[in-house]
Structure formats: structure tokens, C-alpha cells
Amino acid sequence: MKPNTRDTIIAAALDLFYSRGYTATGVLDITKAAGVPKGSFYHFFPSKEALAEATVIAYTKNNRIELLTDSSPSPLQRIHNHIDYLLDFAERDGYVRGCLFGNFSTEMPSQSDLVSRAVAAALDNWVKQLTLTIIAAKEAGEITTNSDPARLATHIVASIEGSLSQSKVSRSSAPLELTITTIFTDLLY
């Protein structure tokens, strides 16, 4: 099925925002990459800021949070599956773009409350889903940590975000792999 014009614009903007950043990407860059006239952009989005919010929503879907809620594997396996997906995604990308949430978290707070709220909501949802999965893993006896599940999930998400940034700078999997090892040997035991 051919994507509609709105989705084409979102996909082009997501790629550009993710690789260049919000400030370095203009509307003309986006419409050129999407292969649409500038008028099409403004037909779907009142501003570049509104489009950035839409890219956060699209990126959230790409982050595969649903792997945490899939009830067929065990809860601990769901966490492994989700984190393995994130590692594979970063690897396919050559560790050059980090995470859009992290990128926007450092770039957007001074520029856009709208986009900052969208990123915060996405991160909050990630923490919530991870918290629920950690609770399920504890109830299933897969992990025995006494740490508060919400605090643990918040720490894990922050650690993954930080290691993705470090991997982006070093163009290496080492920071991310170290974080993942720490998550599964020192936090979720």
C-alpha cells in the first residue's frame, strides 16, 4: 500500500530530525526529501513544531514498546526481546543517530514545549510499560530484586538513553552492551 502524503512527510522529517536535528532541518529540506510541494506540508501541519510532535509519535511506534506487553513470552524474556530490538536497531544504524527521544531531549526544551511534552509522554509510557513487565517478572519469580519496579524501570530507561548517546559519540556498541549487561546481571536478577 502506498503511503499517503502526510505519512510521507512524517517519514522524511523523522529521518532528517533523527540524523540532523530539529534546528538544522528546514521545511524546504523536509518537503524536498518527501518529494512534495511546500504547500502540502502546510496542508497537513501548521508548523515544523507540529510535525516534530508527529515524528515523536511515529518514532514511538518504531521503538517496539509492544514487545513488553506481548503476553506469549515470559516477562523477563519480553524485557530481553525489547532491549535486544533496541540494540539491533542501533547496530543497523551504525550507532550514529542515538535515540530521537534523547536527541530531542537535549535540543528541544528551550525551543518547544509541545515537542518536549510529546517526548516526556513517550518516555513516561516506556517507563510505565517496563514497570509493569518488571512487576510481572517479579510475580513470576523470574527476578528477585527488592528494588522498586518504577524506580528500576526509570533507571533502566535513563541508562539505555545515556548509553545510546555514548554509542552515538563513540560510534561503538560498547557503551550500550555494557549497559545491557549491567541491566541483566546487576539490576534484574
- Residues 36-95: tens digit of each pLDDT: 999 999 999 999 999 999 999 999 988 899 999 998 999 999 999 999 999 999 999 899
pLDDT band at 151 (very low <50, low <70, confident <90, very high): very high
Which CATH number does the domain housing residue 41 bear?
Answer: 1.10.10.60
Is residue 82 situated within a structural domain? yes
Indicate the average pLDDT of the chain. Answer: 94
Whether 71 and 151 share a structural domain: yes
Whether 9 and 67 share a structural domain: no
Q: Is the pLDDT of residue 122 over 60?
A: yes
Please say whether the beta carbons of 107 and 53 come within 8 A.
no
Contacts 24+ apart (CB under 8 A), 78-83: 78/133, 79/130, 79/133, 79/134, 79/137, 79/188, 80/184, 82/130, 83/160, 83/180, 83/183
Q: What is the pTM assigned to this prediction?
A: 0.91
- State the residue for C-alpha cell 512524517: 10
Q: Structural domain of residue 19, as residue ranges?
A: 5-48
| Percentage of the residues of the chain whose pLDDT score is greater than 70 | 99
- Residues 8-23: tens digit of each pLDDT: 999 999 999 999 999 9
The C-alpha atoms of residue 22 and residue 50 are separated, in whole angstroms, by 12
Which CATH number does the domain housing residue 116 bear?
Answer: 1.10.357.10
Q: Is the pLDDT of residue 1 over 60?
A: no
Per-residue model confidence (pLDDT) at position 68: 96
In the chain, which residue ranges form alpha helices assigned H by DSSP?
Answer: 5-20, 27-34, 38-44, 48-62, 75-92, 100-107, 113-139, 149-170, 174-182
